[in-house]
Amino acid sequence: MHVTHGNRFPRARRWAGTALAVSALLGAAITTAGPASAAPRSAPKAPAPPADCSAAYKIEQTVDGGTTWRMCWHYNTYSGLILDKISYQPKGEAKPIPVLTSARLAQIHVPYDDGEAEFDDITGVEIGRFLQQLKTSECPGGTIKTVKVADRGNVPGLCVTTRARGHAYRLNNDASTSGNGKVYTAQGKDLLVYTVNKAAWYEYITEWRFSSDGTITSNVGATGSLSPYDFDGGDDRGWPIGKGDQAKAESHSHNVFWRLNFGLDGSPKAKVEQYDSKVTPPSGQGSPKTKTTRTPITKELMGDRKDMRWWRVVSTAGKNKDNHPRSYEIVPGASQKHAGRPYTKHDVYFTQYKKCEQYASNNIGCPNGYPKSVDQWVGGESLKHPITWVNIGFHHIARDEDQQPMPVHWQGFSLAPRDVTAMSPLTPSDLSGVNGRPRT
């Protein structure tokens, strides 16, 4: 938790002292970061990748099945790691398939249950400034890249490695219960890209995984330590930590936002679709029926999760070899939605691209008087170049096991390929002829 909260001192003032202390620990002279209500600031000049994505800013990795992922990266003192020009080239595709123009964190909003503190860890605390140096053991089998951080210089803090994920697929090619057919099976391996950023007592692991089947997964893991200044929660907003019930760690939420700028098939123009399935109970001795409907999302939207509802972003510039338009489905992970602010009340947002709309709350870089949060940008404009915002919440009620250090708790989402390739990119060669046909 944030060391800024405790003993009923004004928390903004306590944060100022803490920021300076953390700065000293990191050996850097850092401008003190204020709370979420701080005055707007212009985005700092941050190192950016060269236009040609030179070797220092390039990531390229081939994983199982011959799939190759390529991307550029750069870094700023707010979001930290930003991935650019992400493309996917599975076996059998003559050239890379562009997927995302950029992908990054857009906010970590942290309100405390007593209503006395509320933080925007991206644009208020500026966690990008507090990039942590990684040990070699934290990046097994990989490479730790050096990141230039404003006011601090070079920090070896970006891990690029691969990690096993278990079964990629398994098929016994015998429909009978005997299972005596040929077994097709393979183990999967992901490209893993991550950084660790400190927010006082908390440490955030920002992780991106790229799988051989075309799936992209992003998770934020919170670890570090419970704040020793926040053991004063009441029975209805805290949890006893340690002996007896004298110290009650105060509960709070982590509302994490991501900003995704799709560039499917090299074009920023895309369509957004929502799918809803409705189950009708059986009549008499029959079976239940399910009907799925597609709703084109032509204007900006604040979307809410619902059973059997999902969204996809659809290419307008390319199709797979079956002549189906390529798309990516948004697959949110487990979430505990926070109703305290308008921008945390919805699970996904689709907005028309505006250059200055970069952070989901406490946005910086727009002109004075411009709306500050993503919910205020949904104004009915037609979606020609949609920006996707994903909100995943976690209500952290502490437990004894959270000390010390605190085990990582994760929250995140995936982007699942839907018709990006005509068949699974991992299909064994002797099964390649079953496309669109039943097995015999």
pLDDT at site 169: 94
Residue 109 pLDDT grade (very low, low, confident, very high; cuts 50, 70, 90): very high
pLDDT at site 17: 37
328 phi/psi in degrees, rounded to 5:
-125, 130
From residue 146, how far is each of 86, 133, 195 by CA, in Å? 20, 9, 11
Four-residue CA torsion sign, 316, 320, 325, 331: negative
Higher per-residue confidence, 35 vs 3: 3
CA 224-228-230 angle, to 5 degrees, is 105
pLDDT at site 49: 52
d(CA 208, CA 217): 6
d(CA 43, CA 430): 54
d(CA 13, CA 349): 34
- In percent, the amount of the chain with pLDDT more than 70 equals 86
Largest distance between two CA atoms of the chain: 74
Q: What is the pLDDT of residues 278-318, one digit of tens each?
A: 999 998 888 999 999 999 999 999 999 999 999 999 999 99
Asked if omega into 325 is within 30° of 0 (cis), the reply is no
Quick check: 33 pLDDT over 80? no
From residue 217, how far is each of 2, 79, 96 by CA, in Å? 27, 17, 19
In the predicted model, what is the mean pLDDT of residues 317-340?
Answer: 97
Determine which of 130-134, 241-245, 305-309, 336-340 has the lowest per-residue pLDDT on average. 241-245
DSSP state of 232: B
Closest CA to 116 of 7, 228, 236, 223: 7
Closest CA to 315 of 304, 323, 307: 323
Contact 393, 255 (CB under 8 A): yes
pLDDT at site 436: 87
- In percent, the amount of the chain with pLDDT more than 90 equals 74
pLDDT at site 176: 67
CA 238-239-241 angle, to 5 degrees, is 130
For residue 55, what are the contacts with CB-CB under 8 A and spacing of at least 6? none
Q: What is the pLDDT of residues 206-241, one digit of tens each?
A: 999 999 999 999 999 999 998 777 787 777 888 888
Burial of 410 (0-12, 13-18, 19+ CB in 10 A): middle
CA-atom Rg of the chain in angstroms: 23
256 phi/psi in degrees, rounded to 5:
-100, 130
Residues in the chain: 440
Q: Give per-residue burial for 106-122: e unless 16+ CB within 10 Å, then b.
A: bbbbbbbbbeebbbbbb
Q: Which residue has the tokens 């934020």?
A: 220
